[in-house]
Structures are given as C-alpha cells and as structure tokens.
Amino acid sequence: MKKSYKIDVDCANCANLMEQAAKKTDGVKDCAVSFMTLKMKVEFEEGADADAVMKAVRANCKKVEDDCEIYL
C-alpha cells in the first residue's frame, strides 16, 4: 500500500534526512520525500498498520530534524 502525506520542512537537505529516517523505520518498504512539492510518499510493507508506522516515522524524523512536520 502507498500513501502520500503533506510535510513541512525548511530545506532540501532536511527533506533528505527525513527520507533516510523514514526508510529505516520498521514497516516502511520505500519512501520518497520531495522538498519542491512538500510531499512524502510512503510504501508500506505487506500487512503493516499504516497509522502505527507513520507515528514511528514521525518520531524518527523528529530525531534528525526536530522542526519538521508530517501531517497525518
């Protein structure tokens, strides 16, 4: 399953850090973050609970870029 989320991030480097953090989260098969469109596209692993995974993604992203936001 794939979902798209609106994000708020200050720079392209921060968006890259968010993408890398999201990819390391359990339940995420793949992730792409676009600074230009302020979107995060997440592909979830089979059977993963998207809401629970996204809460973990948000927490991991806050660790690398504390002023970023993902609108769930």
| 15-44 residue pLDDT tens | 999 999 999 999 999 999 999 999 999 999
Write down the pLDDT at residue 21.
97
Domains along the sequence of the chain with CATH: 2-71 (3.30.70.100)
Q: Which residue has the tokens 């089979």?
A: 46
**Measuring CA to CA, which residue among 60, 24, 59, 18 is closest to residue 40?**
18
Question: What's the pLDDT at 6?
Answer: 98
**What's the pTM value of the predicted model, to 2 decimals?**
0.94
Q: Which of 19-23, 54-58, 64-68 is predicted least confidently?
A: 64-68
Beta bridge pairs of residue 31? 42
Over residues 43-63, mean pLDDT: 97
